[in-house]
Chains A and B, each alone.
Chain A
């Protein structure tokens, strides 16, 4: 594949990644509000949502709410591990209680979340593609255990979360999108080795997480937030951006002038 083609792939990857970051911000906001509502409704110590990450074949805790929830954000677990892994792989909702009273159980949970609940609910997040994650609710203030009704209620919240994710889903993983399209584009009788495709994908996505692009991703994140702002705020942001743009244009004109007149004395 020529250099020009690789350049194009790189450009596609950059745009896809930008779109992904713009969208995931929106989904994350809904997910956050779902776990916050879950904590409020159940009067629970914590609630969290873990989503499946195809690239690593693991579940990653994306959002959490409640006093004891925050420690879990960013934690990833194998899909064959623990309650969340079981609920994800089987789609079977369940509630457990008297958990902390048995230290043999508590330890395995604590290793992952730094908080050992007395009781918990775990329900799958299911969309039209299948199970995409798990919603967990830990420890009701009011009661020792969760009821069957609680499981159903949690399933309703999980459905809201799943709908939010589906609605805003851009291909979550740019690399897997590129890999799939390259594999599809190549005639099967002349299919290049998987390794070749992997190399191309790696080259095209190289630098997407580069440190010097952090300003760009910061800006993308801000834009994602602005998209959810009310019209007044949006107008204000537009005005501010215009003012900033005018200022930077003036600044560059001034720089050009000062370079042009560098021989002239500065002092009046």
Chain B
């Protein structure tokens, strides 16, 4: 079964977690310093996804803006989405997770799923570009583009985000194919672990996927006011996005690289207890 030798991004974070303890968590800072006493107030998190349902209780009324990217004639255009719908449920799930960790953070929804398949990567890119230039401090991307043609575009956007002090948190992809921007060095790439605790996250010193967060059997919000239980890297990323929002609320001057370092320093000890 050599076919099972896939890039199993979650493997370092489940079971023995053998490779994670090459260095003790940095002792000089702890979670109380990193985000104690804040709830994310003053920080805006953009959710680039299937939309966010404004009325869903899990979002706690924190959705402050909702836009939608449409294909357009020549290039994608970003339009207002005053109704704030979620066409799938996935974006609401992500927003609900972020709100659960950072209840004071404002959420912006950028819906990038359209009925038109042409230029899907371009639609993602347009949504990301919009989020970078509209005040988001953290951007959650529980999706990625597989198009090699979009490599340059996403690389440029990842750099622009980094230099504009915008932190991109991306779900890793389990499919052995290019996946942008989740495999770029400047973003935080996240896979799932199976400890049922939003406050448990691991740091993995072997890139490209550096963080593991709660992503197995996560109770999430869904379209139509529903709730269900979901598994996937998609649901791990917003946990890190929520934590990043807390860190940015407590330390507004921290850069994306510093936020990443703080997340690594305050990560859960690697070995299972006992």
Contact = CB atoms under 8 A, between A and B. Distances in A.
B191 to A, nearest CB: 9
Contacts of B171: 92
B224 A91 contact: no
Nearest to B233: A92
Given A85-B113, A92-B173, A102-B226, A148 B216 contact: yes
B183 to A, nearest CB: 13
Interface in B1-17: 3-4, 6, 8, 10, 14
B192 interface: yes
B2 to A, nearest CB: 10
Given A80-B87, A85-B88, A148-B194, A99 B175 contact: no
Contact of B144 (A82, A90, A101, A146): A90
A156 B142 CA distance: 21
A148 B49 CA distance: 22
Contacts of A104: 222-226
A252 B230 CA distance: 68
A148 B4 contact: no
Contact of B6 (A91, A102, A145, A155): A155
A12 to B, nearest CB: 26
Given A82-B88, A105-B223, A159-B3, A151 B117 contact: no
A151 B50 contact: no
Interface size class of A (residues with CB under 8 A): 35 or more
Contacts of A78: 115
Interface size class of B (residues with CB under 8 A): 35 or more
A57 B115 contact: yes
Interface in A156-175: 156, 158-160
Given A86-B90, A148-B231, 14 more contacts: A52-B117, A92-B143, A92-B234, A95-B231, A96-B228, A97-B231, A104-B222, A105-B223, A105-B228, A124-B175, A126-B146, A126-B175, A156-B4, A159-B3
Contacts, number: 135
A98 to B, nearest CB: 4
A113 to B, nearest CB: 16
Interface of B: 3-4, 6, 8, 10, 14, 50, 87-90, 113-117, 120, 142-147, 171, 173-177, 179, 192, 194, 215-217, 222-235
Closest 4 pairs between A and B when the two form their complex, measured CB to CB: A90-B143, A94-B232, A95-B231, A104-B224
A82 B222 CA distance: 11
Contacts of B194: 147-148
Interface in A128-162: 130-131, 145-148, 151-153, 155-156, 158-160
Interface of A: 52, 54, 57, 78-83, 85-86, 89-99, 101-102, 104-105, 108, 123-124, 126, 130-131, 145-148, 151-153, 155-156, 158-160
A97 B50 CA distance: 19
Given A83-B88, A86-B90, A92-B173, A57 B143 contact: no
Contact of B228 (A57, A99, A151): A99
Nearest to B224: A104
A95 to B, nearest CB: 4
Which label, helix, strand, loop or mixed, suits the secondary structure of the A interface? mixed
A99 B235 CA distance: 16
Contacts of A90: 90, 113, 142-144
A82 B90 CA distance: 10
A155 B175 contact: yes
Nearest to A91: B146
A154 to B, nearest CB: 10
B82 to A, nearest CB: 19
B146 A80 contact: no
A217 B234 CA distance: 44
- The winner among A90, A105, A152, A159 for most chain B CB atoms within 10 A is A90
A49 to B, nearest CB: 15
A101 B115 CA distance: 29
A96 B230 CA distance: 4
Contacts of B179: 91
Contacts of A153: 4
Contacts of A101: 228
